[in-house]
């Protein structure tokens, strides 16, 4: 297996991203004259950014299942190939639109398809190939992440029918956090519930992995990753391993988000059920769709819209301040979990693009010795670089880094295929012997 064409689907609660990659089997790092082989990949050693992964296409369909959707595609050199309004009435419709576009573009056909899955439940904690048993296990775990899992499952089922002979891989956001210490993983509930898988799973794991991978040999011992977007989380990483994270059993917990409340007093939910006769469906809608920035501002879950409204709208201003306050508190908590912090990395849509939010959050962390360089923070960020925005006087390095979940999924897909190939080769050899 000298090269591989990998199609990656990354579904969100309102969008479908995709990437098309070509990966080679080994390469030389010219700076060190060191050869990285398939074994290096399988061992998941920190690798330089020059990992042999060639991006052919990146794209996204925004506002899926709305009145009108937006389809954008860029090539591997970041040149815009298409930017148009389309009709994508469902996620399977959006998937078909992408497949048809690829069929008309001068790329090789995909040889394997990878899917991002937010939550695999108790049974699915490691990246794996798709088969009927895995599909049943994924169906059983939908309740853990209803905003995301059913969408991913629909896309997986659709592509299995469309490409019945292609291997397909599931990459889980929870895998990176699977080995958190008990003090962070175990939730303070009865052991009977713990036995049923009620625990802290953590999410945005592929994003965190991407940060760790891109930092390579410069990875600090004590790192905090703030993934800030429509969904948001803060993760403490020690020596490249997740030791705690803000999200818990589901992606609804942790910091305040676009439409999700984040952590909330469970007494609020009991009060609504007891005194307001609020049923489960209404509670789920409230927590996942009507809270967060949207709930507090009353106008939008989009931070860009709130920035425009804030000067004349006290509720929009409060929503922004509460978001920053919530994130800063979690970063401080993760610094405690790490017993200090060497570096903070901002990533995700808000984390990568909103200088005002970064400045607001970091201002609340001055007691940790965090100080930004205002000019660097407000400058245009390079997408393929670690952008340092802290001042020289800062005791904590602060950086902005592009979350490249799709590339991380491609690497896991390659490693799984290599592992399968090596296992088959060993089995065949054993039979011959």
- For 217-236, write each residue's pLDDT tens digit: 999 999 999 999 999 999 99
Query: Do 222 and 165 belong to one domain?
Result: no
Question: Measured at the alpha carbon of residue 205, what is the angle toward residues 234 and 256, in degrees to the nearest 5?
Answer: 35
Q: Is 120 part of any domain?
A: yes
Which of 30, 93, 173, 263 is labelled catalytic? 173
87 and 224 part of one domain: no
First-to-last C-alpha distance (Å) of the chain: 24
How far is it, in rounded angstroms, from Cα 304 to Cα 354? 9
Residues in contact with 57: Cβ distance below 8 Å, sequence separation at least 6, in sequence order: 18, 19, 20, 73, 74, 75, 76, 81, 102, 105, 107
Average pLDDT, the chain: 90
- The answer to whether 220 and 388 are in contact (CB under 8 A) is no
The total domain count for the chain is 2
Task: Tell me: do 161 and 225 sit in the same domain.
Answer: no
349 lies in the same domain as 256: yes
Domain assignment of residue 209, yes or no: no
Q: Could you give the CA distance from residue 384 to residue 402 in angstroms, rounded to a whole number? A: 7
Q: Are 338 and 238 in contact (CB under 8 A)?
A: yes
Helix (H) or strand (E) holding 417: helix 405-432
- Whether 50 maps to a domain, the answer reads yes
Q: What is the dihedral of CA 423, 424, 426, 429, to 10 degrees?
A: 170
Within a domain: 364: yes
Pick the closest to residue 43 from 405, 406, 410, 411 (CA basis).
411
Amino acid 424: pLDDT: 57
CA 394/CA 1 separation, integer angstroms: 47
- What pLDDT does residue 349 have? 92
Last residue of a domain, one of 116, 145, 172: 172
- Within a domain: residue 431? no
Judge if 162 and 227 occupy the same domain. no
Q: Is residue 166 domain-shared with residue 222, that is, in the same domain?
A: no
Would residue 30 show up in a list of annotated catalytic residues for this protein?
no
Which of 141, 172, 203 is where one domain is finished? Answer: 172
- As a whole number of angstroms, the distance between CA 355 and CA 11 comes to 26
Region of 67 (left: φ > 0; alpha: ψ -120 to 50; beta: rest) is: alpha
Is residue 333 assigned to a domain? yes
430 falls within a domain: no
Q: Identify which of 234, 235, 169 has the alpha carbon closest to the alpha carbon of residue 413.
A: 169
Are 367 and 224 in the same domain? yes
The answer to whether residues 152 and 225 belong to one domain is no
pTM listed for this prediction: 0.90
Whether 355 and 257 share a structural domain: yes
The verdict on 128 and 238 lying in the same domain is no
Q: Which pLDDT score, from 0 to 100, does residue 23 have?
A: 84
State which residues of the chain have pLDDT below 70.
1-2, 25-51, 421-433
Tell me: do 259 and 313 sit in the same domain: yes
> Do 147 and 261 lie in a common domain?
no
- Predicted confidence at residue 122, as pLDDT, reads 92
Q: What is the CATH number of the domain that holds 99?
A: 3.30.420.40
pLDDT value of residue 44 = 45
Q: Which domain holds residue 243?
A: 218-402
Contact 414, 385 (CB under 8 A): no
Residue 417 lies in a domain: no
């Amino acid at each position: 297996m000298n090269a591989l064409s990998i199609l990656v689907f990354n579904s969100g609660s309102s969008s479908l991203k995709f990437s098309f990659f070509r990966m080679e089997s080994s390469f030389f790092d010219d700076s060190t004259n060191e050869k990285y082989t398939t074994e290096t990949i399988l061992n998941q050693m920190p690798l330089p950014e020059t990992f042999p992964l060639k991006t052919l296409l990146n794209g996204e369909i925004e506002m899926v299942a709305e009145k009108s959707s937006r389809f954008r595609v860029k090539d591997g050199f970041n040149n815009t190939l298409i930017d148009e309004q389309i009709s994508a009435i469902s996620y399977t419709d959006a998937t078909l639109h992408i497949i048809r576009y690829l069929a008309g573009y001068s790329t090789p056909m995909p040889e394997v398809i990878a899917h991002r899955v937010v939550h695999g439940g108790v049974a699915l904690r490691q990246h794996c190939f798709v088969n009927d048993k895995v599909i049943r296990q994924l169906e059983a775990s939908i309740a853990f992440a209803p905003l995301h899992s059913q969408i991913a499952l629909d896309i997986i089922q659709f592509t299995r029918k469309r490409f019945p002979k292609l291997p397909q891989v599931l990459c889980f956001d929870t895998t990176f956090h699977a080995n958190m210490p008990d003090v962070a993983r175990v939730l303070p509930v009865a052991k009977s519930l713990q036995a049923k898988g009620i625990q802290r799973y953590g999410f945005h794991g592929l994003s965190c992995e991407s940060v760790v991978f891109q930092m390579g040999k410069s990875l600090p011992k004590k790192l905090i990753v703030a993934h800030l977007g429509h969904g948001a989380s803060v993760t403490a990483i020690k020596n490249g391993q997740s030791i705690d994270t803000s999200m818990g059993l589901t992606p609804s917990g942790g910091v305040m988000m676009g439409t999700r409340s984040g952590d909330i007093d469970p007494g609020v939910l009991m009060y609504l059920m007891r005194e307001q006769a609020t049923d489960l469906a209404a509670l789920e809608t409230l927590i996942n769709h009507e809270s967060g920035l949207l709930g507090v501002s009353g106008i939008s879950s989009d931070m860009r819209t709130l920035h425009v409204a804030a000067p004349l709208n006290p509720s929009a201003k409060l929503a922004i301040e509460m978001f920053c306050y919530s994130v800063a508190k979690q970063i401080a908590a993760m610094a405690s979990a790490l017993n200090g912090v060497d570096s903070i990395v901002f990533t995700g849509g808000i984390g990568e693009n909103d200088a005002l939010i970064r400045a607001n959050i970091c201002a609340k962390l001055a007691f940790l010795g965090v100080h930004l360089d205002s000019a660097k923070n407000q400058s245009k960020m390079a997408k393929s670089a670690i952008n340092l925005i802290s001042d020289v006087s800062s005791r904590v390095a602060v950086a902005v880094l592009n979350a490249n979940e799709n590339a991380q999924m491609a690497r896991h897909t390659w490693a799984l295929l290599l592992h399968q190939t090596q296992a088959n080769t060993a089995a065949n050899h054993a039979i011959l012997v």
